[in-house]
């Protein structure tokens, strides 16, 4: 099994075999993080550009560390201190940086489709680190990796994604990935935060959290985007917490060996109570550690993949 594409743009078009390959590879890379010297020379000589047009703590640090642990050279680009301020376009920015001989680009942008757009501008391998409300493939991969490490499988599990389904790229990537791997997926949130025709993703849709989580194995809680509150998508934070906040009482509805997840950053006391976030069944910090293994696996598997150089040399 190999990855068909030389980019990772999203999970919508990725097969179960490809996801399994990434997760299996991540399993091997996870071990490196427990070594005294957490570094292997695999990507020596490869230069990776981290192009972040949107703020990020976890994803960016995680990618940077993954690159360094593989011995790649990294440059991190942040829009606030660059010529973007002087009005340089995205395309020009990337092409100029690529002219300095880079091999891979990790990109986050507020507009959906930017990673795809870049594949047509430059030769580098492109990895999507979140594009608007479209996809965030490495986050969904690390979520699946974390679930698989606990249960040994993904198929047959019931996973509920709670919160701002409409604006969440994490939800979208998770739906596609989890469904490909045979999990049963439900989404739950206030109707103003559910996209139109969300059923067409092939998921169960709930506006009542208690109903949604009944008998679920995994609850993945999305951040409620407080900065959007002015838009009047829900009446008040308190009401949201009452209706959609994950509390200790609600945990009783889940299956015995349940798991609580959150991609971060958390609003403690809003979508999740501190006692749930810090409980034994919460794998929120494991997600962060596993994220590095996933990103190392993706960087490794894509590195060196070139444009159409591939003839019919299948093994």
Positions touching other proteins (CB under 8 A) are 1-2, 20-21, 24-25, 27-29, 31-32, 35-37, 39-43, 45-46, 300-301, 303-306, 309-310, 313, 315
- Tell the smallest beta-carbon distance from residue 304 to other proteins (Å): 5
Asked whether the bond before 265 is cis by omega within 30 degrees of 0, the reply is: yes
- Tell the smallest beta-carbon distance from residue 46 to other proteins (Å): 7
Nearest Cα neighbor of 296 from 2, 36, 44, 65 is 65
- Tell the smallest beta-carbon distance from residue 199 to other proteins (Å): 34
Minimum CB distance to other proteins smaller for 124 or for 273: 124
Residues with Cβ < 8 Å from 52, sequence gap 6 or more?
60, 76, 77, 78, 79, 107, 108, 129
User: What are phi and psi for residue 172, nearest 5 degrees?
Assistant: -60, -50
Minimum CB distance to other proteins smaller for 37 or for 81: 37
- Tell the smallest beta-carbon distance from residue 85 to other proteins (Å): 36
Minimum CB distance to other proteins smaller for 1 or for 285: 1
SS3 5: coil
Minimum CB distance to other proteins smaller for 40 or for 205: 40
Nearest Cα neighbor of 103 from 127, 84, 80 is 127
Minimum CB distance to other proteins smaller for 47 or for 282: 47
Minimum CB distance to other proteins smaller for 29 or for 234: 29
Cα–Cα distances in angstroms (integers) from residue 304 to residues 43, 44, 47, 195, in the given order: 9, 12, 11, 38
- Tell the smallest beta-carbon distance from residue 313 to other proteins (Å): 5
- Tell the smallest beta-carbon distance from residue 28 to other proteins (Å): 4
Are 128 and 152 within 8 A, CB to CB? no
- Tell the smallest beta-carbon distance from residue 241 to other proteins (Å): 42
Cα(74)–Cα(102) distance, integer angstroms: 9
SS3 content of the chain, % helix, strand, coil (to 5): 40, 15, 45
Quote the Cα angle for 214-217-220, to 5°: 90
Residues with Cβ < 8 Å from 244, sequence gap 6 or more?
162, 163, 188, 189, 190, 209, 224, 271
Minimum CB distance to other proteins smaller for 3 or for 203: 3
Minimum CB distance to other proteins smaller for 48 or for 114: 48
Cα(187)–Cα(165) distance, integer angstroms: 7
- Tell the smallest beta-carbon distance from residue 301 to other proteins (Å): 6
Instruction: Spell out where 24-168 has E strands.
Output: 47-52, 73-78, 104-109, 125-131, 158-162
């Amino acid at each position: 099994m190999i990855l068909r594409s030389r980019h990772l743009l999203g999970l919508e078009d990725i097969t179960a075999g490809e996801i399994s390959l990434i997760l299996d590879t991540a399993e091997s890379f996870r071990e490196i993080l427990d070594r005294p010297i957490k570094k292997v020379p695999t990507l020596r000589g490869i230069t990776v550009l981290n192009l972040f047009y949107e703020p990020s703590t976890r994803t960016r640090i995680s990618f940077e560390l993954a690159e360094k642990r593989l011995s790649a050279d990294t440059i991190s680009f942040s829009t606030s201190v660059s010529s973007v301020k002087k009005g340089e376009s995205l395309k020009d920015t990337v092409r100029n940086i690529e002219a300095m001989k880079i091999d891979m680009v990790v990109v986050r942008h507020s507009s959906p489709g930017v990673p795809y757009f870049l594949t047509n501008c430059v030769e580098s391998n492109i990895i999507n680190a979140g594009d608007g409300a479209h996809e965030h493939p490495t986050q969904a991969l690390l979520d699946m990796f974390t679930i698989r490490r606990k249960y040994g499988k993904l198929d047959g599990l019931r996973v509920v994604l709670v919160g701002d389904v409409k604006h969440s790229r994490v939800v979208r990537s998770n739906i596609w990935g989890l469904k490909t791997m045979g999990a049963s997926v439900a989404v739950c949130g206030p109707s103003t935060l559910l996209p139109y025709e969300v059923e067409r993703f092939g998921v169960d849709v709930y506006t009542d959290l208690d109903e949604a989580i009944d008998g679920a194995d995994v609850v993945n809680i999305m951040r409620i985007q407080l900065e959007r509150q002015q838009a009047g998508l829900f009446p008040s934070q308190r009401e949201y917490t009452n209706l959609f906040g994950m509390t200790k009482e609600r945990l009783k509805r889940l299956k015995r060996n349940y798991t609580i997840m959150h991609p971060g950053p958390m609003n403690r006391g809003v979508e999740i109570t501190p006692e749930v976030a810090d409980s034994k069944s919460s794998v929120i910090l494991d997600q962060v550690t596993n994220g590095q293994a996933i990103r190392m696996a993706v960087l490794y598997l894509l590195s060196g993949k070139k444009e159409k150089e591939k003839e019919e040399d299948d093994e």
